[in-house]
Amino acid sequence: MTVKLTDLRDDIDAIILDLRRERNDGEIPIADALARIRSELSGKISDAANQLIDLTLRKLIHDVSGRKRLSLAMVGQTSLFGHYSGIPAMITTGRGRKRDTTKATFQEADAWLSAREKEDTDVRTKNEKFKQMVEELRPFIQAPIDTLEDAARRKFELETVHASHL
């Protein structure tokens, strides 16, 4: 029998409400909540195990891919993105799809940033460095399908040529 996660979520909500009613201070230790949920919903949890594993793994993938990196790509031993900090490792490019940030097109980067403009100030602030990087690389676009890495390579090569002429 397949259990709907929405039903399981409702059952968990009911247990949490019961725990809140039982405690005068309103604090519910997670360990207590987990013990009660496992005890009362063990059958449903077993039936939904694969769905729960997939849900947890999706969350972990999202968490890992959203982490900020100091350096995204290397040319030999030189980092193309080394002076940019706070850049997400991956960005969402569609429902259930992520792409390595360096392989993202400018259209994908713009869509990702635009989607986050609607979020709260803290989220927008966290993405300012990524937005700044995209804008600094934008002059180096040569084709609509260029990736951030393509533009960064062109910028790096141009800066290297200028530095060697000094």
pLDDT of 70 reads 42
Does one domain contain both 53 and 77? no
Does one domain contain both 123 and 52? no
Does one domain contain both 90 and 144? yes
Does one domain contain both 103 and 151? yes
Task: Write down which residue in 42, 61, 80 finishes a domain.
Answer: 61
pLDDT of 73 reads 46
Does one domain contain both 88 and 144? yes
Phi, psi of 78 (to 5 degrees): -100, 130
Does one domain contain both 79 and 112? yes
Does one domain contain both 41 and 88? no
Does one domain contain both 106 and 72? yes
Does one domain contain both 95 and 157? yes
Does one domain contain both 81 and 104? yes
pLDDT of 81 reads 65
pTM: 0.59
Please give the chain's pLDDT, 166 residues, in tens. 688 889 999 999 999 888 888 877 667 888 888 999 999 999 999 999 999 999 899 888 877 766 655 444 444 444 566 667 678 878 888 887 888 888 899 999 999 999 888 776 666 677 888 899 999 999 999 999 999 989 988 988 888 776 666 6
Query: What is the DSSP code string of the chain?
Result: -PPPHHHHHHHHHHHHHHHHHH-SS----HHHHHHHHHHHSHHHHHHTHHHHHHHHHHHHHHHHHTSEES---EETTEESSTT--SEESEEEEETTEEEEGGG-BHHHHHHHHHHHHTS-HHHHHHTHHHHHHHHHHGGG--STT-BHHHHHHHHHHHHHHHHHT-
How many domains is the chain built from? 2
Does one domain contain both 110 and 55? no
Q: Which domain holds residue 44?
A: 5-61
pLDDT of 165 reads 62
* Residue 94 to residues 82, 98, 149, 159, Cα–Cα distance (Å): 27, 7, 20, 34
